[in-house]
Structure 1
């Protein structure tokens, strides 16, 4: 296993950040690690990268225990922290050369990671002159410099505009072809575009750990928005089979939620005809990862 987490717990005073967390990540997987603010994501990533120690449990990266072999873990991991720490007064190549000395890697590797992360056009500038998107590329280039087997990325696209987000996403997806990637983010579209698997944590506990395609395939609800030509007596909706709930969007528009895998659009057309209604608009809204995330992390 590239990452092995066994019964990890961590508290800050009375606040339990991680509560008996266990999972493993196989070599070559791209895993999205999701959770609301304060759920324990960054804490676990800091444990995996040896920045802090767990109170209980064990964790290993590439077979190296994070407590017993921290140097080996650091050499096998590329880590991009949530707040990307950079020396803004250094030039891009100068900064990468400094890190190449730290990791004792050949200087030729600098040009390789510059090309890999799309930094060529900006590599002659000081880091302080770069946009947020290019600073993130510098962080990724640094994480990749020593050619680690595992990438641990904590909110790598925070603060990026849509164009920058797509660019960084493509960089991560490209480098992830040959590495294990453990990625924390709040952007669900990013997970859907990049990840093979999703782990959701809430209040320090794992609440979901599934392959992305399996998670989506298990969805047994469908939401349909429909607009009729006139007002509808709500009592009539009881005639619709598999209807779980309904709510009004506007005077004659409704959002209908069905608990079934059967496409209910034809049933709505039949419902309209039976009740002397005309269907002006009808659209099926697929339930997505964002909705699943809200369900799994909503604290009642």
Structure 2
């Protein structure tokens, strides 16, 4: 296992940030760690990178205990925190050289990570003169300097514009071909584009842990169907459909139908139209996706 977490608990005063959290990450996986603000994501990442100590439980990275073997963990982990700490007055190569000395890494590695992270066009500049996207690349380059087996990335695309987001996303996906990647993010499209597996945490507890390809398919959530008929329909007829939870007329003959059902309800709506001699001008499943699963798993009880 690249990452092993067993019963990790952490409190800040009376607030329990992590409540007996357990999971494992296999070598070579790219795992998305999702949750609302304050769910405990950053706290767990700081424990895995030895920046924080847990109150109880055990965790290891590449077989090294995060409490008892901190140096070994730090050697095997590349960490990009949410607020990427950089020395803005240093040049890119100067900053990487400084960190290479900290890690006792050969200076030849600097050019390797500059090329790997696409920093070559901007490597001659001071970090303070770089765009947010290139600053994130500098952070990733620093995390990769000592060629770690595990990358832990906390909100790596926060504040990026759409073009920068795609660039960093592609970079992380490319890096993940050779390394284990454990990343937190609020951007669902990012998870869908990068990750093999999703762990969702809420109020300090794991609420789901599934392969991405199975998560949406297996999770029961409200299903919203948008349908437009060729003529007016009585709302009472739609309210009689099986598993219907809500009926909303959005405009004209366009309706939004919410079902509590796992199965695709579009055939039911189509049959309803046929039986009532109606034509469907459009029939779309709106929200059976990762975002809807996330909302369902983390909604306030």
Give the shorter-chain TM-score range.
over 0.9
CA distance in 2: counterparts of 1:278 and 1:30, whole angstroms: 45
Residues 159-197 of structure 1, C-alpha deviations (whole Å, 9 max, x = no match)? 000000000000000011111100000000101111111
2:130 corresponds in structure 1 to 130
| 2:90 aligned with 1:90 | yes
CA distance in 2: counterparts of 1:38 and 1:222, whole angstroms: 28
Whether contact under 8 Å (2:239, 2:247) holds in the other structure is no
Whether contact under 8 Å (2:80, 2:139) holds in the other structure is yes
| 2:172 aligned with 1:172 | yes
Structure 1 alignment gaps of length 5 or more = none
Specify the SS of the correspondent of 1:111: helix
Whether contact under 8 Å (2:16, 2:204) holds in the other structure is yes
Cα RMSD over matched residues? 1.7
Whether contact under 8 Å (1:219, 1:287) holds in the other structure is no
| Distance apart, 1:247 and its partner CA | 2.6
Residues 32-64 of structure 1, C-alpha deviations (whole Å, 9 max, x = no match)? 000000000000000000111011111111111
CA distance in 2: counterparts of 1:298 and 1:262, whole angstroms: 22
Specify the SS of the correspondent of 1:249: strand
Return the TM-score normalized by structure 2: 0.94
2:203 corresponds in structure 1 to 203
- Going from structure 1 to structure 2, the CA distance change for 1:125 and 1:38 (only over 3 Å counts) comes to same
Whether contact under 8 Å (1:11, 1:17) holds in the other structure is yes
| 2:263 aligned with 1:297 | no
Equivalences for 1:1-300 in 2 at 5 Å?
1-219=1-219, 222-238=223-239, 240-259=241-260, 263-300=264-301
Whether contact under 8 Å (1:222, 1:287) holds in the other structure is yes
| Distance apart, 1:278 and its partner CA | 3.5
Return the TM-score normalized by structure 1: 0.95
Whether contact under 8 Å (1:35, 1:186) holds in the other structure is yes
Whether contact under 8 Å (1:226, 1:253) holds in the other structure is yes
State the aligned residue count: 300
CA distance in 2: counterparts of 1:127 and 1:238, whole angstroms: 59
Whether contact under 8 Å (2:30, 2:197) holds in the other structure is yes
Deviates more, 1:197-206 or 1:219-228: 219-228
Specify the SS of the correspondent of 2:251: coil
